[in-house]
Amino acid sequence: MSEYMQLSLALCRIGIYTCFRALCCKGPPPPRPEYDVVCIGLTGAGKSSLLSRLCSESSDDIGPTTGADNIKKYWCRYYQGSQGVIFVLDSASSNEDLEVARNELHSALQHPQLCTLPFLILANHQDNRAARTPNQIKKYFELEPLARGKRWILEGSSTDNLVAVKESFAQFINLLEDKDTEPARI
């Protein structure tokens, strides 16, 4: 059975248990853990589209949320209280934009408020022919030496393959919960 099917089955069991408990035991279901996670990335990386699709919303109506590049200097104001970081990059972007994304990721990985937090790095737009693979991103971004000892995951993503994105988020939740995770995985 695939991990996705196991996750779906586990979620189904939780849903049935919650309904049973609410109907029969007259008690509220146990609280689900919540995490404060910051999602950052350059304009056009696909942050809004990915998150809306994960929430089962249509991404057709999402206009470009341009201006994110203009507020990069204010990102650190959102870091306080975060328990994890999702960094979305456009894996099909130009070399210049990829270099800017690389510098921003390096800054985030070294930021005092984020350096101990788990990272989910999504190499988005994998459905584009020009997309670089996660291994190419890992090498270009020099993640091995920079993120050594940190908890991070690098995965390819696309709004067309939400199963893979959900699996990435399940791995990220394991990092957040600190469940038998390895320091770095791709």
Instruction: Say how many CA atoms lie within 13 Å of 110 toward its Cβ.
Output: 9
Break the chain into its structural domains and give their ranges.
Answer: 1-30, 33-185
- The DSSP symbol for 46 reads -
Mean pLDDT in each 10-residue stretch from start to end of the chain (186 residues)?
46 50 60 85 86 74 57 76 93 94 91 91 95 95 82 92 90 82 48
pLDDT given at position 179: 53
pLDDT given at position 64: 57
CATH topology of domain 33-185: Rossmann fold (3.40.50)
Q: Give the separation between CA 128 and CA 133, rounded to whole angstroms.
A: 11
pLDDT given at position 93: 94
pLDDT given at position 28: 65
pLDDT given at position 6: 47
pLDDT given at position 4: 44
Helical residues (DSSP H) of 25-122, grouped into ranges:
47-54, 76-79, 95-110
Q: Give the separation between CA 146 and CA 126, rounded to whole angstroms.
A: 24
